Structure 1
Amino acid sequence: MTTNDRSQDNGTTDNGTTDIGTPRTGTTDATPAQERAAEDRTGVTRRALLGTAGAGLLVGAGAGVAGAVALDRTGRPAGAAAAGGALGAARVPFRGEHQAGILEPQQARVQLAAFDLSDGVGRDGLRGLLQRWTKAAERLTAGEPAEEFDDQVALDAGPCSLTLTVGFGAALFDKAGAADRRPPGLEPLPAFPGDALDPARGDGDLFLQIGADDALVAVHALRVLQRLAAGTAALRWQSAGFARTPGAAGKPVTGRNLMGQVDGTNNPKPGEEGFAAKVFCTAGGEQPAWLAGGSYLVFRRIRMLLDHWEALPVDRQERVIGRRKTDGAPLGAPAGSGEHAPVDLSAQGPDGTLAIPADAHVRVAAPAANGGAAMLRRGFSYHDGLLPDGSPDAGLLFLAFQSDPRRGFTPVQRKLSRGDGLSRFLRHEASGVYAVPPAAPAGGYLGQQLLEG
């Protein structure tokens, strides 16, 4: 396919923060020499970003522990953002052990999109597309213009922590002649009580998560990749989301979701025992070798019934969640204890009843109540105006990375959909499951392990 051919366009939950900075060395703890090398590549030190990791934004509930890791990078020098400093200059290396956009601090903006392969594209066509995307992504994440279809929209913006994460839907494997390499974790999710899924806004052969601290940078990157896909894959759906802008809170603090709840306290954290096994795939058993170092991503578009939620008095809202709204502390915890106080599920109120109700979100979603099932949640809020009935079309773009959805998302969501009081205020309206390959190998392209391994 020629360049000219391609120029024709087709068409909350209870989780927490991660302690991963932007420079990616493939390990959780870098040596001083590695930190200096990372600073040379990015212009922003890993230690500075680690020191500013803040807050998780998320909304889980009936959403399958809907969550979002929203890490606030507030430790840069005062006034740097206003002067076009660290906020725009921050760069996330494209290559590493895992794809960028999983462990890194959550950016302020996200563009999510899915594409369907055109008829007859096959393995060679998919390989060519992934090679083009890889080449463009490596340049864009470095703050450089793409070699093709760059319209200079983001020319003066800097990298702005841009990450581009690619996933493969189940149908892609048949279309690419790789049905025998489809991983078992890509089986369809079961139907959950209360689902109202729109197939046109979910699934897809190729998934893109594009995050950046500047909306223009994220939109520009999506536009470039869409134009590079013309003739090979067509856009199926697209959604835009947002989180707290780094530095907006003035200090590291856990973010709030659109329900006003402090959200993001107990997300699994790198460095914890068993973290990698919960999030990343290893070869062996059912897992194919090409997915080693990769992950699975579950996407859900979850609309919050904000009119109903906001009609509740604050004390009722707190009982639905199981945490105080002011500081995120679990109900029953002493005053001033804060959101990280241990959740005591046996605590009682003055009247002898459970301080945290039986159907409170934190109780139903607790890993201890779900056989230890856990996911790394990295969701974003969205607000797309009003529906015909006048209610807000707003909620959570739920993203959860895990080593196997059958042991992570599915059992947790099954329980939440049946016993979580928060489910009454949520509607799952779109869904998708994707295999996220490891990062592009040195000198290679995203997905090379699948297509050539």
Structure 2
Amino acid sequence: MAELPRGIYWDKGQTPPRCYAIGILRADQNATSTGIDKALAALAVLWNELRGGGIPTLQGATTPTSSFEWLLGYGRKAFDIAGSNHPVPRKLRPPNGFNSVDPQGGGLAIDGSGLKFAEGIAQNLATEQFCVQFTGDTPLSIARAIVETSLLLESMRDAVTGKAPLMVSASFTGFNREDRRSWLDFHDGLSNLQSGAERRSVIEARPQGLAKSDKWLAGGTYMAFIRLRIDIRLWRTLTKDMQESLVGRTKISGCPVVAIDSAGVVAADPLCPAYGASEVDSAPANARFLEPPDAVDEKSRLSHVQRANHHIVKQRIYRQGYEFFENSALGRPFEVGLNYVSFQESPDRLFFMLKTDTWLGRTNFGGWAGPEILHVVAGAIFVCPPIVDGEAYPGASTFSSVEPLIS
């Protein structure tokens, strides 16, 4: 029996934990399916122990579970490992993917989009063989997972070559804000798919939508990870009206913008927020304002929330993002941004949204000529196989010679 991977909070009553980390796992160039299978199986044992509140070096101690969960993803390169039992999934092949960073730095991260690599980025660190997403309620729960994963893989180094089948080559962390806003100061995540059946219908890969060679992925999903740096200094130079016209919502209330006059002054829905509420997410009576309205003027239609929505479920994705903050370093000021994480039954949905002119194509954030507020630090698409009875870890049929139990 195949089940959706854990770590995707799609059902009613589920809320993503507050803290997030993603570890990027790079396979040694000489690694084989046997070595990778052994490493991933050992990691799954470790991650399940952490999920149950255990710690390898504190056997018998009681530790909080912190709603900890893990999710394994396979990048395109994973299927090039010697002995792989599956070809590269159809939806991981070009044109679905990220470009390499230009030799001189920068360059378009995705053809047809308005997203460029950030200055100072020499390599896209996310485009490796595997990733693992960790979510938990405390910073310790996700930091501990990265530490234990790294140490376990390091312990697998060959005594002669000094190499291990897998290593943690990069990691990124993030958090959800208490005020449900982003570093742009606006409400975030208001316009998202309804939990339950609607959300699952967008997330879950179904057999009829998969190529014959990819049927083993039925019940799984595709995850997009994009580490987006926000130019908060540039953003703060914009007037409140300019910010609201780019976002498509008012800053304080979160009400949808319905008109922008010739002077650039925005007008929100006059019925929003409902009586007695100051923000759209503070009262059930405001539920109708969470989705941007269809009846807006042409200037408002160019805003981010209008371009990213279009009221068409079959083209939408499920977002599960986390903000980040990085301390200043020598020669570099502090940085803030968003770990953009989305789940969809096919990455076609995301790339359609990012490349189509009437959606987000050629725009950096909103409008046709808006400032470049966002830059890509790292990004990749991963397929997340379903949980199958008898498999040591999701997707084990790719590297293991052991047939899973089918019930």
| Same fold flag (TM > 0.5) | yes
CA–CA separation in structure 1 for the residues paired with 2:242 and 2:124: 36
Gaps of 5+ in 2: 98-109, 155-163, 258-267, 275-279, 282-286
Q: CA deviation at 1:151?
A: 6.4
Q: Does 1:330 align with 2:256?
A: yes
Aligned to 1:398: 340
Q: Which deviates the most, 425-434 or 382-391?
A: 382-391
Cα 1:371–1:99 shift into 2, 3 Å: closer
Q: Does 1:409 align with 2:350?
A: yes
- How many Å apart are 1:135 and its aligned residue? 1.0
- 1:327-366 matched pairs, under 5 angstroms: 327-331=253-257, 332-333=268-269, 334-337=271-274, 338=280, 340=287, 341=289, 342-347=291-296, 357-366=300-309
Provide the rounded CA distance (Å) in 2 between the counterparts of 1:266 and 1:307: 26
DSSP 3-state at the match of 2:315: coil
Aligned in 2, Cα 1:109/1:203: closer, same or farther, shift over 3 Å?
same
1:97 pairs with 2:7:
no
Q: Which residue in 2 is equivalent to 1:425?
A: 373
Measured after TM superposition, the shift of residue 98 of structure 1 is 2.0
Structure 2 residue 244 is the aligned partner of structure 1 residue 318: yes
Q: How much has 1:417 moved relative to structure 2?
A: 4.2
CA distance in 2, matches of 1:423, 1:167: 33
Instruction: Give me the TM-score of the superposition, normalised by structure 2.
Output: 0.75
1:378–1:228 distance in 2 versus 1, CA, 3 Å = same
1:232 aligned to 153, 162, 165, which one?
165
Q: 1:423 to 1:241 in 2, by over 3 A?
A: farther
What's the offset of the Cα at 1:403? 0.8
Report what 2:131 is aligned to.
207
Structure 1's 300 and 412: CA in aligned 2 closer, same or farther, altered over 3 A?
same
CA contact (8 A) 2:54 2:63 kept: no
1:259 to 2:184 alignment = yes
Shift of the alpha carbon at 1:264?
Answer: 0.8
Asked whether the equivalents of residues 381 and 394 of structure 1 are also in contact (C-alpha less than 8 Å), the reply is yes
CA apart distance, 1:276: 3.0
Deviations 1:384-424 (Å, cap 9, x if unpaired)?
12477765421001111111112x11011114142423663
**Deviation at 1:196?**
1.3
What amino acid does structure 1 have at the position aligned with 2:220? Answer: G
Whole-angstrom CA distance in 1 between matches of 2:24 and 2:246: 34
1:172-218 deviation digits (Å, cap 9, x = unpaired) = 11114227432111124242334216434221111011111111121
Specify the alignment match of 1:448 in structure 2: 396
Q: Which runs of 5+ in 1 are unaligned?
A: 1-25, 27-95, 250-254, 349-353
Residue equivalent to 2:176? 243
Query: Which one of the candidate residues 7, 12, 17 is aligned to 1:107?
Result: 17
Partner of 1:16: none
C-alpha contact (below 8 Å) 2:223/2:381 kept by paired residues: yes
Tell me the CA shift for residue 99 of structure 1. 1.9
Matched, 1:434 2:367: no
Q: Provide the secondary structure at the position in 1 that maps to 2:3.
A: coil
Secondary structure class of the residue paired with 2:216: helix
Deviation at 1:443, TM superposition (A): 6.5
Moved more, 255-264 or 168-177: 168-177
Task: Give the RMSD, CA atoms, in angstroms.
Answer: 2.7
1:367 aligned partner: 310
Match of 1:172 among 78, 85, 89: 78
Match of 1:158 in 2: 64
Alignment of 1:129-140 (within 5 A): 129-140=39-50
| Structure 1 pair 279–371 and aligned structure 2 pair: CA distance change class (3 A) | closer
1:295 to 221, 227, 235: 221
In the TM superposition, residue 440 of structure 1 has moved relative to its aligned partner by 5.0
Equivalent residue runs for 1:43-62 within 5 Å: none
Separation in 2, partners of 1:442, 1:113: 25
Distance verdict in 2 for CA 1:225–1:112, change over 3 Å: same
CA distance in 2: counterparts of 1:445 and 1:335, whole angstroms: 48
Residue 226 (structure 1) shift:
1.7
Question: Would you say how many aligned residue pairs link Structure 1 and Structure 2?
Answer: 338
Q: Secondary structure at the match of 1:435?
A: strand
1:142 aligns with 2:67: no
Deviation at 1:442, TM superposition (A): 4.6
- What is the CA–CA distance in structure 1 between the aligned matches of 2:332 and 2:143, rounded to whole Å? 28
Query: How many angstroms does 1:155 deviate by?
Result: 5.5
Contact 1:130 1:447 (C-alpha < 8 Å) held by counterparts: no
Whichever residue aligns with residue 389 of structure 2, its letter is P
Q: Deviations over 1:265-324 (max 9, x none)?
A: 221223344x43321112244161221111111111111110111122222211111111
**Alpha-carbon distance in 2 for matches of 1:387, 1:319:** 34
CA distance in 2, matches of 1:432, 1:157: 33
Identity of aligned residues (%): 20
